Amino acid sequence: MTADYNFAYLDEQTKRMIRRALLKAVAVPGYQVPFASREMPMPYGWGTGGVQVTAACLTPDDTLKVIDQGADDTTNAVSIRNFFHRTAGIVTTEETEAASIIQTRHRIPEAPLSEQQILVYQVPIPEPLRFLEPRETETRKMHELQEYGLMHVKLYEDIARHGHIATTYAYPVKVAGRYVMDPSPIPKFDNPKLSDCAALQLFGAGREQRIYAIPPHTKVVSLDFEDHPFDPGHWDEDCALCGASNSYLDEVILDDAGGRMFVCSDSAHCRTRRKAGHVGPLGAPYKEEDA
Amino acid sequence: MTGMPLLRVAGLSKSYGRRVGCTDVGFDLWPGEVLGVVGESGSGKTTLLNCIGGNLAPDAGKVVYDTRADGLRDTLAMSEPERRMLMRTDWAFVHQNPRDGLRMAVSAGANVGERLMAVGARHYGRIRGAALDWLERVEIAAERIDDRPAAFSGGMQQRLQIARNLVTGPRLVFMDEPTGGLDVSVQARLLDLIRGLVRELGLSAIIVTHDLAVVRLLADRLLVMKDGRVIEAGLTDQVLDDPQQAYTQLLVSSVLQV
């Protein structure tokens, strides 16, 4: 850590302001709290909201993990991890269990989270009603009066056009029986993990200047129709490297002849399983030097 | 018919700064009655309708409505959730321009189903069934249910708007120039449809128009407005056949006879 930066980049007044917004967000689960988002040294869309929330939560004793689409080794994850390593001098990790704060883009880790952990989401568009109702004044009114029929109009439209609810990510949820919330673009596969999660879940949208939260052990319900219930989806394949049958899989194209493999999107989860001796159909036994 | 009016408007006024929208308008609307409001452009017809229908807040006056649950209530004194609930269940508002009343980005079926979902319907099959039923009643072919309103003709859009509004079984319908911008043969069919629905469902309606033929066909009673005031009121035939006010006489004699 260089002394040129205040701890975790942001000045103390800014962190106080963000913490106040966080406290309000935790007190009103699912409610979008406005906050004075700062310019960060990265472009909007790269996680400026999540980074500010993480900066406001970090203490020198924290261990940080950053994932992007489940993986620890993609550009966004690596650069944010380096950013906090440099500006806060904290320890970083790739293991889900070892982290006290996990900043994520588009995934929830496969390993169950604990009460000691905070999960910070990067959110591009916090308003779930935005695509159907462009007026901010009107969407606020709809949240205020719990007029959420419009959300079902979107799901109706999905079924009418595709025969099933074709929303596969950013699938709208209702938090604690009150606010309808956009869970950020996580796959709907992860939606069941939002509910009754032991960890504190915080959502930061930098460009849109909104923070919202799901406190630990809060009921989160995915919206659906009685005759078209919510379905988290499944794969016919198992992970080709670790053989996991219940994790979220990425498709990897192998050649020009239609060859493909499916691997865990959560790279830490896959590595842990291979370390424990699980081997998938295309995987080789785990060796320490692979890591 | 009960002994109570469905809607009682008293002393309703609205001004836009120094410009007058409507002044001291009052009338009773009885269950099953269709009231026409006529007058030239700028006479305050639409302002009046928007004030009664809850789209605009009037400066003064009362709009008392006979609610299903607890009888006569001043809608202007209601809390906002109550008023909005009333607006999407027991009331219906048909806009002059169907684009104002429809959601153009979603299919016809979703447009009709929106009000049902807004009041808590969560069964896709039943919502779709109700949408099909209503499309048929407004003479839109069932196979158009998944088309967007943008793909519809003006007359079909207007009929879709009517279906979307009537699906929750409202008792009071506000219509602002429902036939505006349609050619005459389409107008005639639409009027026929509206007349049928109003009679069949026993709806009360307030129809704002500058077209005297529309009120002649649909309205039981008539208000004539000029400069924000009601200058003449009475049974439709009486007002049109024997106008008392100079302005009404002018209005009636201005209609081109073919």
How is the beta sheet containing A91-92 ordered, strand by strand?
A33-34, A210-214, A200-205, A118-122, A101-105, A63-68, A91-92
Exposure class string for A77-114: b at 16+ Cβ within 10 A, else e: beebbebbeebbebebbbebeebbbbbbbbbbbbeebe
Q: Is residue A30 annotated as part of the catalytic site, yes or no?
A: yes
Catalytic residue among A70, A197, A264, A283: A264
How many A/B residue pairs have CB atoms within 8 Å?
Answer: 57
The minimal CB distance from A225 to the residues B106, B118, B122 is found for: B122
DSSP states along B137-185: HTT--GGGTTS-GGGS-HHHHHHHHHHHHHTT--SEEEEESTTTT--HH
Task: Please tell me the distance from the alpha carbon of residue B49 to that of residue B2, in angstroms, as a whole number.
Answer: 24
User: Can you tell me the mean pLDDT for B13-36?
Assistant: 93
A19-61 pLDDT per residue, tens? 999 999 999 999 999 999 999 999 998 999 999 999 999 999 9
Q: What's the predicted TM-score (pTM) here? A: 0.87
Q: Is residue A89 annotated as part of the catalytic site, yes or no?
A: no
From B120's Cα to the closest Cα of chain A, the distance in A is: 7
Pairing of the two strands B172-176 and B204-208: parallel
Furthest CA-CA distance within chain B: 57
pLDDT at residue number A3:
65
Question: Quick check: A145 and B81 CB within 8 A?
Answer: yes
Q: Contact at 8 Å (CB) between B1 and B11?
A: no
**pLDDT level of residue A283 (50, 70, 90 thresholds):** confident
Q: What is the ipTM of this complex?
A: 0.86
B201-248 pLDDT per residue, tens? 999 999 999 888 889 989 999 999 999 999 999 999 999 999 999 999
Within 10 angstroms of residue A188's Cβ, the number of other Cβ atoms is 20
Give B-chain residues touching A150 at CB under 8 angstroms: 114, 117-118
Percent of chain A past pLDDT 70, that is, above it, reads 98
Tell which residue, A212, A230, A152, A208, has the closest CA to residue A176: A212
